[in-house]
Structure 1
Amino acid sequence: MSMVSELQELGADVNDAMQRFMNNASLYERMLGKLPATVNDKPVMEFIEAGDIKTAIENAHTLKGVMGNLSVTPLYKAYTEITNLLREDKPEEAKRVLEECLPIQEQVMTCIENNK
C-alpha cells in the first residue's frame, strides 16, 4: 500500500492536500517527510504536565497549522481542539483529547517513516 493510500485510510484528505500542493505529489511527500521531526520538536503533553501552558499552546498551535497544511484531518481537528482548550485554561481536558489522538498520530508517523 502506498503512503498516500495509507494516509487516506487514516483520515487524511489527500485530495485537498494535492490541490494545496498544486498536484505535486513529490512536494507533498517531501513535506510529509518533515512531519515526524516537527512532531518531535513540538511536544505538547510534557509542557501540559509541567504546567507550562504558554509553550503547550504555542506547540499545539504550530502542530495544528502543520496538520492543516498537510490535510492530516484527524490530527488537525484534535490539535485545534487542544489549542482551544488550553487557551480556555482547561489543561486536563486538552490532555484527554491529546491522549485520544496519540494513537492516530503514531500511526501517521509510522506510515511516513516507513515510506521515506
Structure 2
Amino acid sequence: MNLLDELRTLGVDVDDGLKRIMGNEKLYTKLLGSFVKMARTNEVRIEDGCTDYTEAIEKAHALKGTAGNLSLTPIYEGYTEILNLLRGGQPAEAKVVLERILPVQQEILRCIESSVQ
C-alpha cells in the first residue's frame, strides 16, 4: 500500500488535500514531510495547574491550520476541539482531547515518515 492509501485508512482526506494543490502528488508528499517536522517542533503541552495557556494555544493553532490545509482530518478536528476548550477556559477537558488525539497524530506522522525521506 502506498503512502496516500495508508493515510486514507487513517482518516486523512487525501483527495481533498490533493485538490487544494491541483492534484500535485509530489508537492503534497513534500508538504506532508514538512508537516512532520513542524509537528515534532510544536508539541502541545497542557500542564495541570498552569494558568497561562498562550503557548499551547499558539502551537495548537499552528498545527490545526497546517493539518487543515493538508486535510489531515483527525489531527485538524482534534486541535480544533482543543483550541475551543482552551479558549473557553477548559484546560482539563482540552488535555483529555489532547491525550486522545496524540496517538492518532503519532500514527499519521509515523506513516508519513516511513514513506517520505
Q: TM-score normalised by the shorter chain: which range applies?
A: over 0.9
- The aligned residue for residue 30 of structure 2 is 30
Q: Partner residue of 2:65?
A: 65
TM-score (norm 2): 0.93
Q: CA deviation at 1:4?
A: 0.3
Alpha-carbon shift at residue 102 of structure 1 (Å): 1.0
Query: Hey, what's the Cα distance between the residues in 2 that align with 1:89 and 1:38?
Result: 26
Q: Which structure has the highest helix share of the two?
A: 1
Q: TM-score, normalised by structure 1?
A: 0.94
Residue 113 of structure 1 is matched in structure 2 by 113
Q: Which amino acid aligns with 1:110?
A: R
Shift, 1:55, TM fit: 0.6
Kindly provide the CA deviation profile for residues 21-63 of structure 1, in whole angstroms up to 9, marking residues without a partner as x: 1110000000001112111111112xx2172400100100110
User: Which amino acid counterpart does residue 113 of structure 2 have in structure 1?
Assistant: E
Q: Which residue of 2 aligns with 1:17?
A: 17
Aligned residues: 114
| Paired letter, 1:25 | E
Identical-pair percentage: 48
Shift >6 Å, 4+ stretches: none
RMSD across aligned C-alpha pairs, in angstroms?
1.0
Deviations 1:57-114 (A, max 9, x none): 0100110001100100011000000011010111110010010011111110100110
| SS across alignment from 1:11 | coil
| Aligned mates of 1:89, 1:43 — CA distance in 2 | 20
